[in-house]
Amino acid sequence: MGYSEKENIDKLLNEKTTFTKMGDLSFLEKTIVSDYLGKAKLFIFRQKMKTTLDVLVENKKGRFAS
């Protein structure tokens, strides 16, 4: 899932089929934190992506558990 699709995560997770969404490869997040510098900003980005991936993995486990 492309990062630009993160705002659509609820809709994507409710789809009945598996999906691959490349998204907009030139996407710039509008809600990004600009007050942090260097590593702190990178850490926040990494944590946001990890949380998104964790949600996807848990959803997939639930979808195929039966």
Residues in the chain: 66
Q: What is the dihedral sign for C-alpha 21, 22, 27, 28?
A: positive
* pLDDT range class, residue 66, cuts 50, 70, 90: very low
Tell whether pTM > 0.85.
no
Output phi, psi for 2, to 5 deg.
Answer: -70, 150
Q: What are the tens digits of pLDDT across the range 22-52?
A: 666 676 666 665 565 666 667 777 788 888 8
Q: Which of 8, 6, 2 is nearest to 22 (CA)?
A: 2
